[in-house]
Amino acid sequence: ILGNYIAIIYMLERAVYAQEANSVYFTAPFSGVVAHQISHEHLTPIKIDQFLNAYKYFIIDSISGSSTSETFKNNIFRASLLNQEKLCCGLSIFVNFLEFLKTKVDIPFWKGPVPANGVISIEECT
């Protein structure tokens, strides 16, 4: 049963990662990140400038002024920080789950008695 739980959590995390990858890819221009396949022939500084000029009014990080409230600016900052965290190192549920599981497996219930031969427990069928 424990193996099934681990497999289910792993599959759920893969699905979440796929969704997050799409989210990061589609929201990157709004954070000022140029998400473009790097090709030295096609990607020139002029094209990057054209791309950024097309999106400059949509870049959320550049919103400032007296018309926006502090809570709105704070939310923009936190969302941008979360997006950068996803881009840099990712947020793994599975690793946290395995760390939690590791702490719970130290309970004597999971270990059982020490085998008689010191290697493996062999139960006799009667």
Question: Is position 115 within any domain?
Answer: no
Concatenate the DSSP letters of all residues of 26-79 into one string: HHGGGGT-------TTT--HHHHHHHHHHHTTT-GGG--STTS-HHHHHHHHHH
Higher pLDDT, 88 or 3: 3
Per-chain mean pLDDT for the chain: 71
Residue 110 domain flag: no
Residue 87 near residue 33, CB atoms below 8 Å? yes
- Binned at pLDDT 50, 70 and 90, residue 90 comes out as low
Give domain status of residue 119, yes or no: no
| Count of the separate structural domains present in the chain | 1
Under DSSP, the state recorded for 123 is P
Q: What predicted TM-score, i.e. pTM, was given to this entire model?
A: 0.41
By residue range, what is the domain housing residue 42?
Answer: 1-103
pLDDT beyond 60 at 58: yes
Evaluate if residue 95 carries a pLDDT over 70: yes
Band (124; pLDDT cuts 50, 70, 90): low
Which is higher by pLDDT, 62 or 113? Answer: 113
Position 112 in a domain:
no
**pLDDT confidence of residue 8:** 83
